[in-house]
Chains A and B, each alone.
Chain A
């Protein structure tokens, strides 16, 4: 039987558009910025698609996001994922990390899988804690900082190369397991024209909190246990000095600045 992989993909404001801002309520103003799949989630998706190519796998995308999450998911479907599950509920606006962990864990309980893949972190939240939280709630083996994923379907185990400060560790655990991936899984593929066409007819199932048997009052904004109390602009860096001239003039400008700041 083909491997069943769920890839956690979060829609985030496109960092390349650089239009992110907070609304008056201290939450992300989603209207200000186009959403894309979190960059690090594309690496894990790529790893899942490679496994689908090499050994056969059913790849499901799972997101917790506003209804527009369906549109963001289309790109993942166009890259080759087979289906999507979007957990969306008005009550989830302003959800904190702890709600996210519980809701995604509840959604995973309704799915069948051998592997769950999470990204190293999100470009908007930069937490990198959601994967470990879900693994803990579901009592799944946690294999994090993955640079390579090698499932052994016959043995029912998975091996992961985990980046360590001095090289890497080879980890092994039984499946089902949760893996937190990194950039070293490989450059994500571009959707082909055929993939883009196919994505239109792929199924995206939408689930509300009630569908997951969760009490809307206990999750999301109303139940958030962290709050933003203020924002400031980072201190501006001084003006940039630009030097055009001979290499020697450039080198002298560098050495002068280093000397004036006691760096040499």
Chain B
């Protein structure tokens, strides 16, 4: 089987302040690991109104960074603009593989790039190895099974990578940054951003938290989340929630964990008043340690937690605060 040769590329995402997104540091680290195994090199693409800061950061992870300034991109949606620039760069050389994040922007980049360059996509990778091409693991059927997939005939394709499956690690030496003029693009329609609304800043982003204390319907209301927050603060963690709690308006959607929320992999997941429904489980089942507090000993969470305390979450929660404080 012919193996694709050429750099392993990353299409990087930036934060609102122009810095490199954390997920892109992970994806870039993965690209470098794959490039080492493939005997090729890792390269990155940064498309932003001002790509300077993120490009410099990305060069800490990969050997070569192509930075494209698209000044008016702040007034438009980013992903398709970035994909068109990436397509222009990728079309002009050999490619080993292209990696993006599996978050909302990374998916849009991957889907767009796939259609522009007529390339296949492997999605939502939980691990990627190099075996004459990317060999991509993904978790399917609610985590019951892990599949390995490849592109056929050693052709190159696009892989979207889940957050938190790789630990970001900078390279020994910094790569080179080249700037490139914006290509005219493939003529995809522009979508205007009329307004950017900032909501009350979420404390610690749950994807990055080492410890998550999450509340479900059992928490009973907005007031109940005060206890969840207090325990999270005591443990130095972030607050997560189930869809039931989000739908009830007790906590913002940004904190939702699960199939339609965020996928997290903290070292500790403490679930208070959460049944552990499959759509919630898929978002947190790879946590290092899972502890549930539930009145119902038969709740599904008892099938996959390390420890289940059968009892009222308010009583156990208050006792836990006291216990933790006494051990400080």
Contacts and interface: CB of A to CB of B under 8 A. Distances in A.
A219 to B, nearest CB: 13
Given A101-B111, A136-B112, A183-B243, 12 more contacts: A96-B120, A128-B111, A129-B123, A132-B108, A168-B197, A172-B191, A227-B150, A233-B144, A237-B306, A241-B306, A251-B322, A257-B306
A20 B138 CA distance: 15
B114 A251 contact: no
Contact of A129 (B121, B140, B199, B254): B121
B288 to A, nearest CB: 8
Contacts of A227: 149-150, 152
B148 interface: yes
Contact of B110 (A15, A40, A132, A257): A132
A231 B147 contact: yes
Interface in A245-264: 245-248, 250-255, 257-259, 261, 263-264
A50 to B, nearest CB: 16
A213 interface: no
Contacts of A237: 290, 304, 306
A264 B327 contact: yes
A112 to B, nearest CB: 18
A169 B16 CA distance: 12
Contacts of A232: 145-146, 148
Provide the main secondary structure of the chain A interface: mixed
Interface in B101-155: 102, 104, 107-112, 114-116, 118-124, 135, 138-153, 155
B319 A250 contact: yes
A125 B139 CA distance: 10
A137 interface: yes
A167 B148 contact: no
Contacts of B160: 127, 129
A213 to B, nearest CB: 18
Interface in B62-117: 77, 79-80, 83, 102, 104, 107-112, 114-116
B201 interface: yes
B172 interface: no
A257 B323 contact: no
Contacts of A250: 293, 309-311, 316, 319-320
A120 B279 CA distance: 14
B194 A170 contact: yes
A163 interface: yes
Contacts of B323: 248, 251-252, 254-255
B25 to A, nearest CB: 15
27 contacts: A18-B141, A21-B141, A97-B123, A98-B118, A124-B140, A126-B140, A127-B121, A127-B124, A128-B111, A131-B111, A132-B108, A132-B109, A136-B116, A142-B77, A166-B198, A167-B197, A171-B193, A226-B120, A228-B147, A231-B146, A231-B148, A238-B306, A247-B318, A250-B319, A250-B320, A252-B323, A254-B270
Contacts of B77: 142-144, 162, 169, 171
B179 interface: no
A263 B327 contact: no
A18 B278 contact: yes
Residue with the highest number of chain A CB atoms closer than 10 Å, among B124, B155, B243, B307: B307
Residue with the highest number of chain A CB atoms closer than 10 Å, among B108, B193, B297: B108
A244 B297 contact: yes
Contact of A258 (B16, B189, B268, B319): B268
Interface in B199-243: 199, 201-202, 205, 211, 235, 243
Residue with the highest number of chain B CB atoms closer than 10 Å, among A143, A165, A227, A252: A165
Interface string A94-136: 0011100100000000000000000011011111111111111
A22 interface: yes
Contact of B104 (A144, A251, A257): A144
A132 B120 CA distance: 13
Contacts of B111: 101, 128-133, 135-136
Nearest to B266: A263
B267 interface: yes
Contact of B327 (A224, A255, A261): A255
B205 to A, nearest CB: 8
Nearest to B148: A230
A264 B306 contact: no
A39 interface: yes
Contacts of A131: 111
Given A251-B320, A254-B291, A98 B114 contact: yes
A143 B78 CA distance: 11
Contact of A20 (B144, B149, B190): B144
A234 to B, nearest CB: 6
Given A98-B114, A163-B104, A15 B80 contact: no
Contacts of B190: 141
